[in-house]
Amino acid sequence: MLAGNALVGQSGGPTSVINASLAGVVETALKSKSIQRVFGMRFGIEGVLGNVLLDLGAEPADTWKGLRTTPSSALGSSRLKLKDEHFAPVLKCLKKYDIRYLFMIGGNDTMDTIHRVVEYARNHGHEMRGVGVSKTVDNDLFGTDHTPGYPSAARFVALSVQQAGILARDMQRVDQFVIFQTVGRSAGWLPAAAALAKSNPDDAPHILLLPERPFDRDRFLAAVLKAHKKFGFVSIVCGEGITNADGSPVSASQTRDKFNNVEFGAMGGTSAAMQLHRLITQEFGWRGEFQVTESLQMCAADRVVPLDINEAYGCGKQAVKLAEKGTSGVMVTITRESKSGQPYRAGFGTIPLSEVANHERPLPDNFITADGMFVTKAFLDYARPLVGKLPPFTNLAMRKANGAVSRSPK
């Protein structure tokens, strides 16, 4: 049995359930026979470098119950990528607090951090066990059915697009189109989730733009015109990281400097939704709007899926149990154990940290329609159990005219 203290941290962008994973780690570690004390990194690995650790065992027990439903990152987060000169001071801190168990909750870069820190410590005579807890709203971590945080963020997107679509439908004589942009640089799991809002062909969304498929201006505008003629308005959802065929981001400004370089940043940069808005307006002369919610998808506690909380908490517990048994160098994964058509059932697995750090998980081809601008039934079957049912709304304005009164009553 490896005796010593444990250290836990959060890294990267938060989710609505990342604190549930933290609670799972801390509550399980505090009950461990091999772990004496549990410390938390303040602002991720920067807290280790700055020697700012929190004694989590000193917190009252009801803190962890409350954190299960608290959004964002309670310990504070960081996006610092470790450099060679960081490892010696990190190890000094780990030795000072006799850290033998390292748990971090995050994405690809976080898993890489755990792997490198544990290997460095071992190579310098300090035995440690490191286990990662998956987290990301992007859902692009390799080796897991889905990541804690994705179901709640997907529900946020689906509800937002559903309700914005009702607004767009009823305001079509004012605004002819609406564009909703999701986060996610290179994977389309979140924009795809908008399709869960669709019950009828005229419901939003009508077009999905996914990072897995290159953006084609002419095909896009043709699809916009077709949807507008059919439904009277157009609902478009795009991922922030969509790119042109040459790999350049759609979000890049078309403004160029005197050296003919595309300008990025505050003065020249923009969002994909803004560029699409300009493109449609210039082509058709329509008025429309774009919605860029950015980090709201990561912290909307009012739209959290209970399943997401439970799985996030379970991943945290599982990480400690694995480390107690001697497992190290892995990330906890969620495995879908139920078959298609059966009630959703999931369990936990593992994947080596090195594999997670070096791979991404885009939407598979069978989840994307042939035209590249929507998702298939296979995706909907995958996502529906995670997101849950959406509230139904009466679609009075778009009912067919059969039997309707077409003139004022006498």
- Beta sheet of 346-352, edge-to-edge order: 53-55, 35-41, 4-10, 99-106, 129-134, 330-336, 346-352
Contact (Cβ atoms closer than 8 angstroms) between residue 235 and residue 166: no
Tokens of 192: 């795809």
Q: Counting runs of H as helices and runs of E as strands, what totals does the chain give?
A: 13, 11
Say what the pLDDT of residue 256 is.
47
Q: What would the two tokens of residue 1 be? A: 């049995």
Amino acid at 16: S
C-alpha closest to that of 103 among 22, 159, 182: 22
Per-residue pLDDT of 314-343, as tens digits, reads: 999 999 999 999 999 999 999 999 887 789
Give Cα 258 distance to the centre of its chain. 38
- C-alpha dihedral sign at 180, 182, 186, 192: negative
Active-site residue identified among 62, 98, 112, 138: 138
Query: pLDDT digits over 201-258, tens only?
Result: 999 999 999 999 999 999 999 999 999 999 999 999 999 999 999 999 998 755 444 4
- How is residue 378 written in tokens? 């296979």
User: What is the model's pTM?
Assistant: 0.91
Res 270: pLDDT:
73
E strands present in 60-155: 99-106, 129-134
Using 50 as the pLDDT threshold, list the residues of the chain that sit under it: 255-268, 401-402
Domains of the chain and any CATH numbers: 4-136+144-148+302-357 (3.40.50.450), 151-300+362-387 (3.40.50.460)
302 carries an active-site annotation:
no
